[in-house]
A and B are shown apart, each in its own frame.
Chain A
Amino acid sequence: MRTATHNLSVAGVIAAKDLRAELRGRQAVTSTLFLAAVTMLIFGFALGPDEDRLAVAGPGLLWLAIILSGILAVGRLHHLETDDGAFELLGLYPISRTGIYLGKALGGLAAMLVIGALVLPLTVILFAVDVASAVPGLLLVIALGSIGFAAVGTLYAGLTVRLRAREVLLPLLLLPVVAPLLLAAVSATALLLAGDPFGELPAWLQLLAGYDLAMLLAGGLTYGLALEE
């Protein structure tokens, strides 16, 4: 219990610091949100005015925008630590590695939820998707998908942050690992928008929740390796 409280307290301090620094820096926030919006706009224009095509493509494009921006967000939260050697010092405080991991993941999750909050209305507008009856379910899917992505993205961002080719390596390593998450998130989103005629949604939600738990556990146990040289 005491360990859990300590980890959550450390996580809160680190996430608050990251978000404050990111909001002050502005360039990163702007570029991340801009990438999400541009992705949606480009595909919207490319698919043309056919509402059926747009509605079919909507769930995939929603997640494409979230994941691409999420890669930028989790990477950026680690680059903050390397500007002046802060990552090494972070590992020298008398705090648990799990707390540091959870803090970084929490910061990444917050960034992804903001991105999701921007992209969802864009999807409605650009892809003629009727979400009126599915909003709570969509929010749940976005939350579960973002937790899983932040969990695994934070781990890989930590492991690659000291490498020179980190910008290339992070998406290369990350995308295969998030494939099940993407499959589940896109499928669940599409089912929600279609009204889930065959009752398949709970299975995808269970997969998402299971993925989240597995990745959080793996990250909490192994993130310490990232802090060691």
Chain B
Amino acid sequence: MPPTTIHVRPTGVPDKTTPGVETRDLARLFRRSPALAGVTIQVVSGRAVAILGANGAGKTTLLRVLATALRPSYGSAAVDGIDVADRPEEIRPRVAFLPHATGLYDDLTAAENLGFAAALMNVPAPDREDRVGAALERVHLTTERDSRVGRFSAGMRRRLALGRILLGHPRLVLLDEPYAALDAEGMALVDELLDEWRSNGATVLVATHATERLGERMDGWMRLENGLVVDLGGVGVIGRVAARPATDLPASPPLAAGFRS
């Protein structure tokens, strides 16, 4: 039985700035089956929020909609006030997405994979090599720079995919199970990067089962069940809670509780 909540960073009053992420009655169907069934949330810009829930709860679908990989079937979703369905091309430069599959090319080397990503992320040509080198160093893959990715372990691929995010300066970072397949060193790297993105003012959403690991790195959390938000807490996230689960929940921070509707 996964933990129903996590302990979050104790912070002050909730921010009253533009939401980094906002959804209204967001639904996404796959062949008439709802993966998201009406999610209404606001995540304050610059906050880090964990998305919890069992497999199939809708965590990945929510991230994919925000990343503009999927269009909402009903309702709306916006990043920095920009609607994902109406103006996805304006959102893409702002968002970095680490999906479960790493999206790497086996027959290219680590440096070539990042170089390709850098070119498509509009990193100026003279800066690309430096940017790629710095990203490889950051994810501890400098020695594997010229190795083909097809020979990499799952953990190394995950680190290289994290390195791809480091090529840009995203305003919204979406991570789907970022600790998956990583060893202790890799997990520590994710922790460092989470802290770094937060300190740079990026909004971070992390779909994960590794609630113990995330610990106080998150400002808030929400829990999905059958495509609905069934609970949320901490600061930085408010929204409509569809139903309370029957399990005993630890008391949520009062400020967050006050924002439920």
Contact = CB atoms under 8 A, between A and B. Distances in A.
Interface stretch (B6-14, B105-113, B242-250): B105-113
Contacts of B97: 89, 92
B181 interface: no
Nearest to B157: A84
B188 interface: no
Nearest to B112: A20
A229 B69 contact: yes
Chain A: number of interface residues, binned into ranges:
20 to 34
Nearest to A228: B71
A85 B148 contact: no
Contacts of A25: 107
A106 interface: no
B121 A92 contact: no
B185 interface: no
A20 B69 contact: no
A17 B105 contact: yes
B120 A85 contact: no
Contacts of B121: 93-94
B59 to A, nearest CB: 16
A20 B108 contact: yes
Interface in B19-47: none
Interface string B79-100: 0000000000100110101011
A183 interface: no
Contact of B99 (A24, A85, A95, A229): A85
Interface residues of B, number: 30
B107 A21 contact: yes
Contacts of A90: 103, 120
Given A13-B119, A85-B101, A92 B106 contact: no
Contacts of A91: 69
Nearest to B117: A93
Contacts of B101: 84-85, 88
B102 A13 contact: no
Nearest to B106: A83
Contact of B92 (A17, A24, A93): A93
B246 to A, nearest CB: 34
A61 B225 CA distance: 59
A228 B95 CA distance: 17
Given A94-B92, A95-B120, A89 B108 contact: no
A24 B107 contact: yes
Nearest to A26: B107
Nearest to A18: B105
Contacts of A14: 120
A89 B148 contact: no
A226 to B, nearest CB: 13
A94 B68 CA distance: 11
Contacts of A96: 89
B241 interface: no
Contact of B120 (A13, A24, A80, A83): A13
B103 A85 contact: yes
Given A17-B116, A21-B108, A92 B102 contact: no
A38 to B, nearest CB: 25
Given A85-B101, A86-B105, A92 B95 contact: yes
A229 B107 contact: no
A128 B39 CA distance: 70
B146 to A, nearest CB: 12
B104 interface: yes
Interface in A13-35: 13-14, 17, 20-22, 24-25
Interface of A: 10, 13-14, 17, 20-22, 24-25, 80, 83-86, 88-96, 228-229
Q: When A and B form their complex, which 5 residue pairs have the shortest distance between CB atoms, in order from nearest? A: A85-B101, A89-B103, A93-B120, A24-B107, A94-B93
Interface of B: 64, 67-71, 89, 92-93, 95, 97, 99-108, 112, 116-117, 119-122, 148, 157
20 contacts: A13-B119, A13-B120, A14-B120, A17-B108, A20-B112, A21-B105, A21-B107, A83-B105, A84-B102, A84-B104, A85-B100, A85-B101, A88-B69, A88-B99, A89-B103, A92-B95, A94-B93, A94-B120, A95-B120, A228-B71
Given A24-B107, A90-B120, A228-B71, 4 more contacts: A85-B100, A85-B103, A93-B120, A94-B89
